[in-house]
Amino acid sequence: MTQISRREFTRLAALGAAVSPLAGISAAREPQGQSPETKPAAKQVLSIEQEGKVREAVAKRDEQLAGMRARTLPYGLEPAFVFSVRTARHAPPVKAAKD
């Protein structure tokens, strides 16, 4: 494969953009429709042990979320952390050169 410069690449890209409408080539294509017959079934196969672990994890997550949602927070509560803008460091003063 040969290397080309940026200018050559730009020239070829512009040429291709100008010629493609004339040749009937379109970059914007309509999406192809998928019929239900051709779409593969997206089914995960888990073992009975894995399904049990998933059910336990989901139940634990639901309990934790319910516990967090049940708590009411005071209106004027301060945030846990605050973003601060970084300030530029001041450079030490430049000493004048003696002549």
Q: What is the pLDDT of residues 53-98, one digit of tens each?
A: 999 999 999 999 999 999 988 888 887 787 888 777 777 777 776 6
Length of the chain: 99
CA distance 8 to 99: 54
CA distance 71 to 57: 22
* pLDDT for residue 15: 85
Higher pLDDT, 37 or 11: 11
What number is the average pLDDT over the span 37-62? 86
CA distance 71 to 65: 10
Flag whether pLDDT at 34 surpasses 70. no
* pLDDT for residue 68: 92
- 20 in the Ramachandran plot: left (φ > 0), alpha (ψ -120 to 50) or beta? alpha
CA distance 99 to 89: 30
